[in-house]
Amino acid sequence: MTLQEEIARRRTLAIISHPDAGKTTLTEKLLLYSGAIQRAGSVTGKAGTKSTTSDWMSIEQDRGISISSSAMQVEYNGILLNILDTPGHQDFSEDTYRTLMAVDAAIMLIDSAKGVEPQTIKLFKVCRERGIPIITFMNKLDRPGQNPFDLMSEVERVLGITCVPLTWPIGSGDTFQGIIDLSDQQVHLFQEVVKGQYKAPVRVADLESESLTDLIGDRSQMQLLEDVALIREALPAFDREFFLEQEITPVFWGSAINNFGIEHFLNMIIDLAPSPGVFLTSSGEVEPDSDFFSGFIYKVQANMNQKHRDRVAFMRVMSGSFERGMGAWHYRMDREVKLTYSYRIFGQDRSMVETAFPGDVIGLINPGVFRVGDVVSSGPRIDMARFPRFSPELFMRVFPATYSFSKGFKKGVQELGEEGVVQLFTDINDNPTPVLGAVGQLQLEVFATRMEEEYREKIRFETLSFTRVKWIHDHQTLPDSRTFNLYRDSAGRRVIFFDSDWEVNYVRERHPDLELLDAPPNETGVNLSRP
C-alpha cells in the first residue's frame, strides 16, 4: 500500500465520559465486535469474572475503575481502528487530557438516565478546543432513563452542539428491545446474552412491515412511527462537514453491557470518524503524508511488563512512515535516537511492530530517554504545544515505611512521578524527603499501591497544610525567601506553596512585582480548584 492508502484506512479515537457511564465496558464491546477478543470481560471486579482488556492493573480490576489510559489497535472490515481508552476518575484527568492530544475523533458516552455530567463537560471543552469531532453514544438504555428528545435537548443546552440522531431507541428500561437505523428504516432487535460476554443475536425488520408488528406489538410500532416522523420534521439532517467542524454530533443509542446497538455503532464509527489529518503544532502544520517521519510522546507508563520492570513511552505517529530500528532526532535531548524496541500495545499485551503510519500509537521501551511532550523526527524540527498541567491541591511528604531510602524507593518515586501518577517536588533546602502533589486522594492511594506492588516498598505519608502551588520565573528575586514555602519541581524550577487562595492573594497584593504562575513558565496550566 502507498502511504496515502495506509493513512486513509486508519481511525484514531478516544472515549470520553463521566465516571461510571460505561466507558471501559463500551471499549471492551467494540473489541468483541471487531473480533479482537472472543469474550468480553467485566469491570465490576467480581471474583470469577474475566477482567477487561484495557483495565489491566490490579488496582483497576479490584476497584472496577480506570486510572490509566491504554491503547489498542484492531482491524475491522479493512480499517485499522486505534482505540485509546482513558481514565474515568477525575483525579486522573491530566492523563485523559494528554490522550486527547493524540486522537482525531472522540466518542462521547452519556448515561441516558443521568444526562450530561461535570466530567463530560470538561472533556467536551477540551475536544472543542482541539477541534476534535465528537460522536455521541447514549448508553444504558436497558435501565429507566430520560426521554430521548429531552436528553438530546439537554446535550444541546449544556454543551452547545446540535444533536442529529442516526439511530433511535425502541423502548427503554425493561422494554428496550433495539434500535432503528434512521437512514434505511431498518429495525434491529436484540436478544440478551449471559453477562453480555458474547455477541447479541439480532433480528432485522422493516419499520412498516407486518413482521415488525408481530415482533414488538402494535403500540411499540405506532410509537416508533410517531418518533421517526417527528425526527424527520423537526430535526436537521446529518451533514458530514458540520460534523467535522463540531457544529453537530451524530447520536446513537444502545446498551454496552448487553451489547445492544454495538455492532451497528462500530460500523458507523468506521464510516464517520476521519482518517488522520493535518496536525497542528507550535511549529506549524504537519501533513500526515509528509516525506519524513515524526511522532510525539503523550504518555509514559512504568512496569507494564512485571517481568522486565521496563517503562513504555506511548508515541502517536504524526507523519511519514515509521520503521523499526530507524534513527530519528530527539529535539529535547538534541541527539539522534535509534527506535529499535517498538511494540504494538493491546492492553497489557505487546507485540513487536515493524512499521507504523500516521494515526498509529506504538510503545517504545523507554530507558529514561522519553518524557511526555517529546518529539522525534527524521525531518525538520517540530515543537508541540505544551501539554496541560493540573494544579495539585493535596500535598504529602512520602517516607519509606522502614525509613530506609533505598534504591527501590527512590526509583519508584522518580518513575511514578515521571509517569504523572503524582507531581514531584523537593525542598529547596535539600531536604531529601520528596513531596508529592495530587489533584485528589485517589492519586495518592494509587501511588501507595503501585509502590508496594511494583517496587516492593511500603510507604507512609505526612500531610502538609498546603493547598496551592505557584511557579515563579527563574530571573525573579524573592523579597525575603525565608517568608515563603519555597520548593523545586521535578525539573528544578522554583515553586511556592500556599495554604489557601487568601494567602496567594495576600502575597500578590504585598508584592505586585512577583509573578505567581499557575504552571511552569511557557507551559499551559489548568486550574481545577473546587468551589
Q: What pLDDT was estimated at residue 439?
A: 83
The neighbour count for residue 520, using CB atoms within 10 Å, is 18
Report how far residue 399's alpha carbon sits from residue 396's, in angstroms, rounded to the nearest whole number: 10
Give the three cell numbers for residue 398.
512520602
- Greatest alpha-carbon pair distance for the chain in Å reads 85
Q: What pLDDT was estimated at residue 88?
A: 57
Q: What pLDDT was estimated at residue 521?
A: 78
Q: Are strands 335-339 and 326-330 parallel, antiparallel or unpaired?
A: antiparallel
Asked whether the beta carbons of 104 and 275 are under 8 A apart, the reply is yes
Radius of gyration in angstroms for the set of CA atoms belonging to the chain, rounded to a whole number: 25
Q: What pLDDT was estimated at residue 38?
A: 67
Read off the amino acid at residue 153.
Answer: S
Report how far residue 224's alpha carbon sits from residue 179's, in angstroms, rounded to the nearest whole number: 10
Lookup result for grid cell 492519586:
443
Instruction: Please give the chain's pLDDT, 531 residues, in tens.
Output: 899 999 999 999 999 998 889 988 999 899 999 888 866 655 544 444 455 554 444 544 455 444 455 788 899 999 999 998 777 556 566 778 888 899 999 999 999 999 999 889 988 988 998 899 999 999 999 999 999 999 999 999 999 999 999 999 999 898 899 999 999 999 999 887 766 677 888 888 888 888 888 888 888 889 999 999 999 999 999 999 999 999 999 999 999 999 999 999 999 999 999 999 999 888 889 999 999 999 999 988 877 666 656 788 999 999 999 999 999 999 988 999 999 999 998 766 788 999 999 999 999 987 778 988 899 999 999 988 777 677 888 999 999 998 888 888 998 998 888 877 889 999 887 777 899 998 888 889 888 988 898 889 999 999 999 999 999 998 888 877 678 899 999 888 999 999 999 999 999 999 999 999 988 876 544 443 332
Q: What pLDDT was estimated at residue 215?
A: 87
User: Distances in Å between the alpha carbon of 378 and those of 252, 327, 357, 367, 375?
Assistant: 41, 7, 14, 21, 10
Report how far residue 334's alpha carbon sits from residue 382's, in angstroms, rounded to the nearest whole number: 12
Report how far residue 53's alpha carbon sits from residue 345's, in angstroms, rounded to the nearest whole number: 11
Compute the Cα dihedral for 230, 232, 238, 239 and give only its sign.
negative
Report DSSP state, residue 392.
P
Q: Are strands 79-85 and 10-16 parallel, antiparallel or unpaired?
A: parallel
Lookup result for grid cell 455530567:
117
Asked whether the beta carbons of 342 and 364 are under 8 A apart, the reply is yes
Helical spans, DSSP H, in 420-488: 441-455
Give the three cell numbers for residue 465.
497544610
Full set of structural domains in the chain with CATH: 3-275 (3.40.50.300), 280-377 (3.40.50.300), 389-526 (3.30.70.3280)
Q: Judging by beta carbons within 10 Å of its beta carbon (0-12, 13-18, 19+), is residue 526 exposed, middle or buried?
A: middle
Q: Are strands 322-323 and 355-356 parallel, antiparallel or unpaired?
A: antiparallel
Contacts of 408 (CB under 8 A, 6+ apart): 455, 456, 457
Asked whether the beta carbons of 196 and 37 are under 8 A apart, the reply is no
Asked whether the beta carbons of 293 and 377 are under 8 A apart, the reply is yes
Asked whether the beta carbons of 416 and 303 are under 8 A apart, the reply is no
Taking the alpha carbons at both ends of the chain, their separation in whole angstroms is 54
Q: What pLDDT was estimated at residue 69?
A: 56
Report how far residue 3's alpha carbon sits from residue 358's, in angstroms, rounded to the nearest whole number: 9
332: helix, coil or strand?
coil
In 3D space, the residue among 372, 378, 376, 354 whose CA is nearest the CA of residue 313 turns out to be 372
Report how far residue 376's alpha carbon sits from residue 326's, in angstroms, rounded to the nearest whole number: 11
Give the three cell numbers for residue 300.
509514559
Compute the Cα dihedral for 246, 248, 254, 260 and give only its sign.
negative
3-state helix, strand, coil in the chain (%, to 5): 30, 30, 40
In 3D space, the residue among 29, 14, 148, 12 whose CA is nearest the CA of residue 80 turns out to be 12
Contacts of 73 (CB under 8 A, 6+ apart): 80, 81, 82, 83, 344, 346, 360, 361
Report DSSP state, residue 391.
P
What secondary structure, in 3-state letters, does 112-149 show?
CCCECCHHHHHHHHHHHHHCCCEEEEEECCCCCCCCHH
Give the three cell numbers for residue 143.
435501565
Q: What pLDDT was estimated at residue 124?
A: 92
Asked whether the beta carbons of 293 and 347 are under 8 A apart, the reply is no
